[in-house]
Structure 1
Amino acid sequence: MSNPLAADADGEMPAADGSATDGTIDTAPDTSESPGAALLAELRDHIRRYAVLPSAEALDAVTLWVAATHLQAAWHHAPRLAIVAPARRCGKSRLLDILVETVHDPLITVNTSAAAIYRSISDRPRTLLVDEVDTIFGNPRTAEMNEGLRGLLNAGHQRNRPVTRSVGNDHQAREFDTFAMAALAGIGDLPDTIMDRSVVIRMRRRADGEVVAPLRDRRDGVLLRETRAKLALWASLVREKAEALHPDMPVEDRAADTWEPLVAVADLAGGSWPGRARLACAHMVAAEEEIEEDSCGGARILADIRRIFFTHGDTDTLPTTAILAALNDDPEAPWAEHGRGGLTARALAGLLKDYRISSANIRLPDGTQRKGYTFNKFADSWRRYCPKVHPLPQRAQAG
C-alpha cells in the first residue's frame, strides 16, 4: 500500500487523493490545495474545534507555531508562545492540551528545575510546555527562586546560547544547549523579557454561543496525533528549503526574529497562508505594542508626557508641577495611585532616568524660573519608544 504523503519527484507531497498540488486556497481546504496548506488547514480546524481563540489571527498564529515546532532544527530563533489570560477558565489549559498532542516531541514541565530541563533538551530539540506559569513568576519571591528557568527561557530563544555547568565527581565544565521552542500558559503577563520573545495569545472566557467540542484522549487524541505525524513527515520533506528561506517580514528587530519561523512555515505551505501569516504578525505585534505603551512601566510615562505637551500647544517647556498635576489628574492613568499620594517629582525623575531625561531650571512667560522639562529633551525618546502616539511636529524633527 503506497504512502499518501510520499514526496513526488520535486520533493513536494502529493494530495491524499493523488491529484495535482499546484493550486492555491482561499480560507477552506479543497482538493486544489498544496499539501502543506491543506495540512495547516487541517490543524487549524482541530484547534478551532476544541478551543476558542481570541481572533482569527491568533488562531492562525497558534497553527503556524505548532507547525514550526516540527522544523526547530531549521530555525535560528525559537519563538515562545505566551498563552495568558486575566482569570481562570479562559481555555489556557485546554489549548495546552491540544499542543501536547500536536507539537514536536513535547516536554511537559511541572515544577521542573532549570537544570533538569536543559539536560532534557541538550541532545535533541524538544518543545517545552509549561502550565500555570504564574505560580513560577507570579510574585517576586517565586520569581527569584526560578531565576534559572527565566534565564533558560531567555537564552533559549536564540541558537548557540548554551549554559555551562560543572558535572561529575571531577566537576568538569560542560555546555548544555538551551535552544527549544516553548509554550507557557498562565494568569497575567509573563516577565517582560519572556513576553518580548513571545507570540502572545490573550485568551478570554467563552461567551454565550461560543461552543467547543469535548477533548477526549481515547477518541480525539488519536486524530490529533495523526495530524502530528503528518506534520512531522511534511517537515522532513521541506527542511532543506526551510533552512535556506529568508522571508520578508512586516515587522522588525526582535519581533521579526520571533515571528520569522511562523512566516517561513506559511511560505513553505503556500496557498493563502503567506498573506494570513503576515497579517497575523502585523496585527498581533501592533496590539502588544499598544498594551506596552499603556502599561505603567516602559514607555507609558513618555507617551503620557507627550500628550501633555501637545495639550499645552506650542510651549517648549513645562514646569514639573504642571506635568505632575496633569499625570495625577488623569482618572484612567495609573499615576494617581503611584506610591501613597500620587506621582511625585522625585518618582517622575526616577522613571525618566533610564531615558536620560532630567529636569532643569526653566524660564516661565512671567520671567520667573522653576524646575521643569523641555520638549526637545524628550524628542529622541519619543521617536524611539512611542512613535505611533502622534507625529512629532516639525520643530522637534529639526532639533
Structure 2
Amino acid sequence: MSKNDHISLPELADKQSADSIKKPVILQDDQLSENTSDDIDKPSSVILPHADLKISSDLAQATIDRLATLSELEYELERTETAKSLNNMSVRSLDKLVKKVRNKIESETSESLIIDTEPYSEPVLDITSVADQICQILDDHIACKDAVKFAATLWILMTWLIPASHILPIAWINAPEKRCGKSTLLTLMSRLSKRSLPTSNITGPALFRSIESYKPTLFIDEVDTFINESEGLQGILNAGHSRDNPYIIRCVGDDNEPLAFNVFGAKAISGIGKIPGTLIDRSIPMTLRRKMKSETKKRVRDLPVDITNTIQSKLARWSDDNLMVIKAAKPVLPLYINDRAQDNWEILLKIAMILGDDWLEKAHNACIEISGIESDEPSLSEQLLADIQTVFNLHETDRLLSKHLLAGLCKDPEMIWSTLNHGKPITLHQIAKRLSEFSISSKCMRALDSYGKEVRGRGYDINDFQDAFSRYLS
C-alpha cells in the first residue's frame, strides 16, 4: 500500500459504516421466519381475517345492533366497509337489517304511550263488587239507560280478557246530538280498561302500526268526522273484529315489501250520526242521551286516580287468575237476535255468567234491548226492498216498468228516495245496482201504466222479489 493509500482509523470506521448502510444484511426466508415476531397482543390473522374467513351470525348480529345505534352520518361512513366485512353482504341488505333493529329500538322506547298495570297483590275473590263499582261510576257521570251501563261495564272487563275472546265487538258510543256525554264515557272507559290508547283522530297506517306494536285498547273520539271518508280505516277496524281474519296486508319500506299486520284488538269509537253498516254490524251500540236540567252528574276530572288505578289493578289480577274459566264458560245466547249480534255479545255474556245470576240477567236483558234497537234500523238496501213492496201493493199489480217504479218511490214524501242524492232523487242505475245484491234484475215486459194502458219496456216482476221479501223483510 503506498503512502497515498494510507487511511486513518477514524476514516476506516466511517467507511465501514457507510458500507453497512449501502449493503444491508438480507436474511433468507427461513431465517426471517425464525427471527421475526409481532409485538402486539393478538395475531394479525384475528384483526385482519383471511378473505375466506366466515363471520358468525352472532358476530354479525352484534355488528348490526351497534350500527343501529349510530347517527345517520356515522352510519353512512361505516356502512360500505362493514358490509364487505360481513361476508361481502350487499349494502342494501345491511340497510334493511339495520332499519329493522332501529324500528325495534324505537318501538321499545315508545312504550310510554301504553301503561301496563301491576296486578293486585292479593287474589280478587269478589269480582262482582268490582263490576258493581264500575257500573256506579258510569252512572255517576253519564246520562244513559241501564242497558248501556251494563254493556259498557262488561266491555271494560272484556279488555282484560282478550286471550279468552274469539270475537271482540267494537264499543260504538253514539248520540243524536252534541253534549250527550260521548267523550265523557269514552274517557271513563279508557281509564278503566287495559293498555288504553286514546286518540281524537288517526290514519289507517297509524292505526294498524299502533295495534301491531302496542296491542292496546284503542279509543277513537269523534270518529264520525273522518271514518266515512277513509275506506282503509274502515277495513282495518272490520278486520280486527275476529280471530278468524285478523290480518291485513300492506306494502312497506323502500321496496314496497308486502307484510302482514295483526289488527285483532279491542276498540271503542264515538261520534254523532251514522257510521258504515259493516262497522255497526261488528259493534255494540251504546246510545247516550243529553241529561235533563234536573239531573246532576259528576265531572270526570274529579274522579280520583287512586280509585281507577285500584280497579285496574284488581282487574289485572282477576283476569290473570280466571282467564281459563272465562274461556270455558258456555252462556245461553238469546234466540231473538241475529247471528252477528250473538257473536258480539258472547264474550260479554261469558263474563256476566262468572259475575253471577244477577249480572247474567242484566246482561241478557241489555243484549235484547240494545240488539233490538239496532235490528230495527234496516240497511238502505233493505229499506229499498220494503218500499218497492209498498209501491207494488199501491199499484195493485205484479209488474211495473222501471220508470213507473222510480216514480212511485219518489212520489211518497215519507220515503227517502226523492232526496237520496244530496237533494236529488235516486236513479234507475242505483235501483238496479242495489237490487242486484239480491239477485234481482229488470227485464223486457208488458205492463200497465197509471192510466191502465198496456206499455212495453224494461221493468220488474214482483215474483222475482218473493225470495228477498221472505229473507229480509219477514
Q: TM-score range by the shorter chain?
A: 0.7 to 0.9
Structure 2 unaligned runs (5+)? 1-118
Following the alignment from structure 1 to structure 2, what is the Cα–Cα distance between the partners of residues 331 and 369?
27
1:77 counterpart SS class? coil
1:239-270 CA-to-partner distances (Å, cap 9, x unmatched) read 10122233322233222222211111111211
Query: Match for residue 19 of structure 1?
Result: none
If the length of structure 2 is used for normalisation, what is the TM-score?
0.66
Amino acid across the alignment from 1:353: S
Matched, 1:190 2:275: yes
Query: Match for residue 210 of structure 1?
Result: 295
Select the residue among 259, 265, 268 that pairs with 2:354. Answer: 268
Following the alignment from structure 2 to structure 1, what is the Cα–Cα distance between the partners of residues 184 and 399?
53
1:201 counterpart SS class? strand
Query: Match for residue 465 of structure 2?
Result: 378
Map 1:310-389 → 2, pairs under 5 A: 310-311=393-394, 315-320=397-402, 323-339=405-421, 342-360=425-443, 361-364=445-448, 368-371=454-457, 372-387=459-474
Cα pair 1:46 1:224 within 8 Å, conserved: no
Matched, 1:306 2:396: no
The change in CA–CA distance for 1:331 and 1:236 in structure 2 (over 3 A counts) is same
Select the residue among 106, 109, 112 that pairs with 2:196. Answer: 106
After TM superposition, give the deviation of residue 103 of structure 1 in Å: 0.8
1:253-296 CA-to-partner distances (Å, cap 9, x unmatched) read 22222221111111121131212212211221221121235xxx
Amino acid across the alignment from 1:377: D
Amino acid across the alignment from 1:37: T
Query: Match for residue 371 of structure 2?
Result: 285
Map 1:1-399 → 2, pairs under 5 A: 6-7=122-123, 13-14=124-125, 35-53=126-144, 55-122=145-212, 125-138=215-228, 140=229, 143=230, 147-159=231-243, 161-165=246-250, 174-216=259-301, 219-250=303-334, 251-293=337-379, 297-311=380-394, 315-320=397-402, 323-339=405-421, 342-360=425-443, 361-364=445-448, 368-371=454-457, 372-387=459-474
Instruction: State the structure with bigger RCO (CA 8 A, min sep 6), 1 or 2.
Output: 1
Amino acid across the alignment from 1:43: I
Cα pair 2:246 2:264 within 8 Å, conserved: yes
The change in CA–CA distance for 1:275 and 1:316 in structure 2 (over 3 A counts) is farther
Following the alignment from structure 1 to structure 2, what is the Cα–Cα distance between the partners of residues 336 and 115?
38
Between structure 1 and structure 2, the one with the greater Rg is: 2
User: What is the RMSD computed on CA atoms of the aligned residues?
Assistant: 2.9
1:160-183 CA-to-partner distances (Å, cap 9, x unmatched) read 522345667887765332111100
Cα pair 1:36 1:270 within 8 Å, conserved: no
Cα pair 1:127 1:181 within 8 Å, conserved: yes
The change in CA–CA distance for 1:119 and 1:327 in structure 2 (over 3 A counts) is closer
After TM superposition, give the deviation of residue 364 of structure 1 in Å: 4.6
The change in CA–CA distance for 1:157 and 1:101 in structure 2 (over 3 A counts) is same
2:297 counterpart SS class? coil
1:299-355 CA-to-partner distances (Å, cap 9, x unmatched) read 111112223445566x54445455444422322221121346534544433332322
Amino acid across the alignment from 2:278: T
Cα pair 1:263 1:277 within 8 Å, conserved: yes
Identify the range of structure 1 (304-313 vs 129-138) with the bigger mean alpha-carbon deviation.
Answer: 304-313
If the length of structure 1 is used for normalisation, what is the TM-score?
0.77
Following the alignment from structure 1 to structure 2, what is the Cα–Cα distance between the partners of residues 324 and 165?
42
Cα pair 2:251 2:257 within 8 Å, conserved: yes
Cα pair 1:37 1:271 within 8 Å, conserved: no
Cα pair 2:400 2:447 within 8 Å, conserved: no
Cα pair 1:81 1:184 within 8 Å, conserved: yes
Q: Percent identity?
A: 33
Following the alignment from structure 1 to structure 2, what is the Cα–Cα distance between the partners of residues 231 and 133?
28
Number of aligned residue pairs: give it: 348
After TM superposition, give the deviation of residue 375 of structure 1 in Å: 2.6
Identify the range of structure 1 (89-98 vs 189-198) with the bigger mean alpha-carbon deviation.
Answer: 189-198
The change in CA–CA distance for 1:199 and 1:344 in structure 2 (over 3 A counts) is same
After TM superposition, give the deviation of residue 357 of structure 1 in Å: 1.6
The change in CA–CA distance for 1:350 and 1:114 in structure 2 (over 3 A counts) is closer
Cα pair 2:120 2:316 within 8 Å, conserved: no
Following the alignment from structure 1 to structure 2, what is the Cα–Cα distance between the partners of residues 164 and 368?
56
After TM superposition, give the deviation of residue 74 of structure 1 in Å: 0.8
Amino acid across the alignment from 2:232: G
Amino acid across the alignment from 1:133: V
Which protein is richer in helix relative to its size?
A: 2
Following the alignment from structure 1 to structure 2, what is the Cα–Cα distance between the partners of residues 215 and 346?
51
Following the alignment from structure 1 to structure 2, what is the Cα–Cα distance between the partners of residues 320 and 171?
48
